[in-house]
A and B are shown apart, each in its own frame.
Chain A
Amino acid sequence: MISFILNDQQFTTELPPGSVALDLIRKAARLTGTKEGCREGDCGACTVLLGIPQQNGMKYMAVNSCLLPVGELRGRHLVTVEGLSPSEGYSPVQSLIVNEGASQCGFCTPGIVMSLTGYLLSTVSPITEGAIDSLGGNICRCTGYVSIRKAAELLCSKIGPSPALSPESPLHIKWLIEKRIIPPFFEGIESRLNEIGTPESPDVMDSGMSDVIRVAGGTDLFAIKAEKLKNAELLFFSRQPEMNGITVKNDHCFIGAAATVSNIMDSEVFNCIEGFSRIRRLISSTQIRNRATLGGNIVNASPIGDLSIIFLALDSVALISNGIEKRQTRLKNFFRGYKILDLAPDEIIEGLSFRIPDRNTEFNFEKVSMRKHLDIAAVNTAARIKVENGKILEADLSAGGVAPVPLFLKETSSVLKGKLISSDMVLLAADTARQEVKPIDDVRGSAEYKRILLGRLIAAHFIELFPDLVNVKELL
């Protein structure tokens, strides 16, 4: 039995925790405003809001209900388009979409309403750029997006900044109610959830159970094998605060395995690392970032995982535990072969730790995919380079899509060490990288393309980070 609040009603379901929220919403609850477009998080038609009680307030986020296991709903607030629609008239998000002609066939529209409302719930200073980014996971085949962007822009200018200091604060909810963005019942949700409470949660770690499937964000698991997971025994990481913290100690940063991409991107430490602000929007979509976790991305072992590539270059150390003993391994040594990890069946990754780049250390991430956003890379690569007086003291480069594993570019990194940065040196690095990798032909591109692209992206690192030390013309 799983109890939660669906819009303004308490809802209890006997569906297995591994069934997905989309089916609960459409079939069990018979709310058909939430649409099924792809069942793999690539269209956003099923976008809903998930509200999670915080110490003082509620945190709301847009997520894909097709990838959200029902077990995650326990003691939380699930909001669908029906829950945002006033019985008379429209919310400002809805009227702007109507007035701007930002809805044609209408199949994607509820998802767009949810994403824009989710954006306003997640920020106290809405800006057009952010509102548009909140729609990065919503595909519309009809409008060409011009009218949708216009609606997003008008929404931000119309609503202005919130008087609240944090989007999680009750004051923010109150303000959004005043602005008719959300209905008044939102105000009582936090206390109503407290009344429901979270009954003795089965969502605890028990590393002895090897037939249990551990679910972090589930954004890949539920895209690929939702049917298998439906009746499986699942353990959810999301309720373990020690698993999703981001802490800084001296010059080291620790990120819990269950920290989501959004948690990471919003964290202070990452906002301090130069070169990171650009990255955020290159990684999937708001809905996916709100669920996908660091640990999930790493143990998924996709040769093209963006976070794996980033944390490889940061020379991260994985903290591994079997519930009794803890051990550490460098991420560089963690990926052993295609989907083969240095991780025993009874072990989990608790998190990653890495040294925060100092002021002499530069970081850059490059990614080229068919479509720039919400797409899996053809090739991605990250570089962390420590330089003094133009001389490279440390270099860690990684690349995805070019090997059976997220690849640490060992030879390329070592070639760079001790060198003075110059165009010739960059060409040598690019050449070394091209020789070091073994890409294959697949749906993301030919092996030849990926090899050439990697060489160019290695050059891109240096052009981005050290524009004054290289001659661009010589690198083309």
Chain B
Amino acid sequence: MKHFDAELHVKGTSLFMDDFPAQENLLYAAVLVSPASHGEIVSIEIEKAEAIQGVKTIITAKDIPGENQIGNIIMDEPLLAEDRVHFIGEPIAVVLADNPQTARNAVKAINLEIHELPHVTDPREAFAKGMLISPPRTFSLGDTSIAWDRCDVVVEGRADSGGQEHVYLETQGSVAIPLENNCIRIYAGTQGPTFVQKVTSRVLGIPMHKVEVDVGRLGGAFGGKEDQATPWAVMAALGVQITKQPVKIILNRNEDMTWTGKRHPYTSDFKLGLSNDEKILAFEVTYYQNGGAASDLSTAILERTLFHSTNAYYIPNVKATGICCRTNLPPNTAFRGFGAPQAMFVLESAIHKAAILMGIDTEQIQEKNLLNPGDGFPYGMIFEGDEIRRSWMKLNELYNPVKVREEIKEFNSVNILKKKGISFMPVCFGISFTNISLNQANALVHVYTDGSVGVSTGAVEMGQGVNSKIRQVAARTFSISIEKVKVESTNTTRAANTSPTAASSAADMNGNAVRIACSNILNRLLTLARKQLGVQEKDQVELRNETVTVNGIGTDLLWGKLVGKAYRDRISLSSQAHYATPGLYFDSSEEKGRPFAYHVTGTALTEVTLDRLRGTYSLDSVKIVHDCGTSINPLVDRGQIEGGLLQGIGWVTLEELKYSSETHELLSNSLATYKIPDIYFAPDEVQIEFLENLSENGGVFNSKAVGEPPFMYGIGTYFALLNALQECNSEIEPEYSTPLSAEKILMLLEQSPD
């Protein structure tokens, strides 16, 4: 099985937002944004800019006919700032001109006066000042207050994780065109077409049916286009409404990096208690999430942090509190893992600290406390599978970490300049949107009279291969060749009221909807075939490889013929189907329920080599045993694991967002200053073993979701590096702070050696 879109990509024939031929009369948008982290808008003078030749018009908040509001969960974000700005990059005005350079020049010609106000960028400071996006939430299990007395070992500390820029290779952008009757079609670079439709309708003051949103493909997204693709799409639509001309907006890399939100930085306090035999008895944690200036998806992300506070471990007494803090950064947003990586980093830090205190290897604590079938999570759900322990055991069986440890000890004892380190990273990630309502999808399937098939769903192809999987589901359900199936663009007129392509669940839910829709048509076709062939009721009639079979024996009634006959007999060759993930509920007053369809688990073993002199390192290997259920496309799933892993490694090592200390403007605002992993940085060896599937899963055809969980294997690299640092100097006291940059490593090495 392939990632079918690659066949277009390698020839350069796949079309991205900026690749479509320009329409006649096309206007290009450029955006004036706030240069200040916080301030009052004193004046905006646009006359001079508007007079520039080629400038059509300049739109400010007062030109918005509907509601100036793009909020998702909480209504706290204007499309265009009115009297105050809250972050650098907050849109204030949109210039429309006949070419992009003129539009950008005109932006520079706008006279903007801002009275700067003090800004807050540290979430703890925001918390102290009462700047919260929503009230704190606490998930608990057992009673930590009485558990501490029973603990032999208690460690406390702080763990900080940094933000992360998405660096989707295709920057944000949208094109909107006018249709008759004041309708608008938006070609949007979004993971959430329905959300763009809804917000456009709100801002433009027109009903949703007048807004059609179409998504062909995205050049990467990773969560960064779930909510944050919306403003640009709405601006384009607003431009169309005002000018009646098509409008295109494409951010350049620098704009995209400076203006849009990132993975949330967190700063957290932890307390972990264990018995002498390494059993974790109690865990308390407080997460201060840096939400940025508007809520965006922060509250949902924080909720997932709370769901994953105990990761792959059973802890009988837990108290996890999450605080969503409002600061003057661009609103932070969804990014692969959606709050879970931040939670897992804190617990792994606590375990690491306990292991140092107890003088044992971290994996002793990890292994002892892995979830067993039947163990409960703090949110009330029971861990139903056995995959986490099985993945750990399989990893041990395949790679013999005990021997690896010995080899590393040997290497480290003879090498002075280089030291190796190792870590284990178990991951347990819940699959489903934690907002229960979002766990629904729909599909529209047409079989054309020549036997070819068109499939529309709410899933957006952004590289993750969802379209390949959907093609497979349709082809497999009908038992026709994959070439006969085409996946259409994601369009709100064909798939309405859809959830964003997020939470790793697009293939599960849309795939299941496609399966149901195809089955509906198939059943009609088989009924017709029975009639046509005159078989008896006991006979089993099926379609196999485009041939109708009776009791397993082929007939001359082929797919194409059957479809043609169905059309002539006036039998519907189309079906729309809806899928809602079963069995989900959550009571947020108690913070208990069954929020996930299932869990995806796995374990990673990471080895690194540290250059003790230069403070640099190389990633020797990452070996992973991962639970994909029964993968329907191993090539795609392997790609998701490899790609997620390296993004996770980048998050904890290379990728550092640097801000000016005074204005707090982003300094690492280009690919020259914000470095993401390149081909040399990737681990020398990556081994992936799919865990044998022994159970029924909620995914389509018994598969499991794969998008997000592998990201968190990357956390293992942080702890492998810490391990190597400790091999240089056992006294090193790490701060538990990501990213562990080359600078931080060198400064740790400078701590006096043994």
List the interface of chain A (C-beta within 8 A of B).
Answer: 26, 30-40, 42-43, 45, 80-82, 85, 90, 93-95, 97-99, 101-110, 113, 132, 135-136, 138-149, 223, 227, 281, 366, 368-376, 378, 443, 445-446, 449, 452-453, 456-457, 459-460, 463, 472-473, 475-476
Contacts and interface: CB of A to CB of B under 8 A. Distances in A.
B43 interface: no
A453 B746 contact: yes
13 contacts: A35-B169, A37-B170, A40-B253, A94-B10, A103-B6, A113-B12, A138-B679, A141-B168, A141-B169, A146-B642, A147-B642, A370-B654, A459-B613
A313 B304 CA distance: 55
Dominant secondary structure of chain B at its interface with chain A: loop
A449 B686 contact: no
B747 A449 contact: yes
B11 A33 contact: yes
Contacts of A43: 169, 671
B553 interface: no
Nearest to A230: B101
Given A101-B639, A142-B463, A94 B671 contact: no
B156 interface: no
B170 A107 contact: yes
Contact of B643 (A90, A143, A369): A143
A417 to B, nearest CB: 24
Interface stretch (B217-225, B277-285, B322-330, B512-520): B217-225
Contacts of B253: 37-40
A472 B5 CA distance: 53
Given A104-B463, A460-B613, A463-B417, A113 B10 contact: yes
Contacts of B741: 370
Interface residues of B, number: 78
Nearest to B253: A38
Given A103-B6, A142-B639, 12 more contacts: A31-B12, A38-B253, A81-B11, A104-B6, A105-B168, A135-B679, A138-B678, A141-B167, A366-B614, A370-B675, A443-B673, A463-B417
Contacts of B16: 32, 35, 107
A200 B130 CA distance: 72
B684 to A, nearest CB: 10
B52 to A, nearest CB: 15
A476 B753 CA distance: 8
B642 A81 contact: no
B484 interface: no
Contacts, number: 239
A144 B13 contact: no
Nearest to A104: B463
B615 A141 contact: no
Contacts of B747: 449, 452
Contacts of B417: 463, 472, 476
Contacts of B750: 452
B12 A110 contact: yes
Contact of A104 (B12, B167, B643, B681): B643
B635 A101 contact: yes
Contact of A139 (B612, B656, B676): B676
B642 A144 contact: yes
Given A105-B168, A136-B679, A145-B682, A372 B616 contact: yes
A301 to B, nearest CB: 17
A107 B16 CA distance: 8
B13 A33 contact: yes
Nearest to B685: A146
Contacts of A281: 680
Nearest to A457: B614
Give 9 nearest A-B pairs by CB, closest first: A33-B12, A105-B463, A106-B9, A107-B219, A144-B642, A42-B671, A104-B463, A81-B12, A144-B646
Contacts of B14: 106
A378 to B, nearest CB: 7
B132 to A, nearest CB: 32
B416 interface: yes
A110 B615 CA distance: 35
A436 to B, nearest CB: 19
Which has the most chain B C-beta neighbours within 10 Å: A30, A31, A143? A143
Contacts of B645: 144
B12 A101 contact: no
Contacts of B658: 443
Interface in B124-151: none
Nearest to A375: B675
A104 B680 contact: no
Nearest to B168: A141
Given A106-B5, A370-B742, A139 B686 contact: no
B489 to A, nearest CB: 15
Interface in B597-636: 612-616, 635-636
Contacts of B465: 104
A372 B3 contact: no
A144 B643 contact: yes
A98 B2 contact: yes
B672 interface: yes
A94 B678 CA distance: 20
Contacts of A81: 10-12
Contacts of B686: 144, 146
Given A97-B6, A145-B682, A456-B613, A106 B642 contact: no
B3 A103 contact: yes
Nearest to A372: B680
Which has the most chain A C-beta neighbours within 10 Å: B18, B616, B680? B680
Contacts of B742: 368-370, 378
B15 interface: yes
Given A38-B671, A104-B464, A456-B746, A45 B682 contact: no
Contacts of A103: 3, 5-6, 9-10
A141 B680 contact: no
Contact of B6 (A106, A141, A375, A449): A106
A317 B743 CA distance: 35
A24 to B, nearest CB: 15
B6 A101 contact: yes
A119 B681 CA distance: 20
Contacts of B6: 97-98, 101-104, 106, 109
Nearest to A102: B6
B615 to A, nearest CB: 7
A92 to B, nearest CB: 11
B395 to A, nearest CB: 18
Contact of A452 (B170, B671, B746): B746
Contacts of A106: 5-6, 8-9, 14, 217, 219, 463
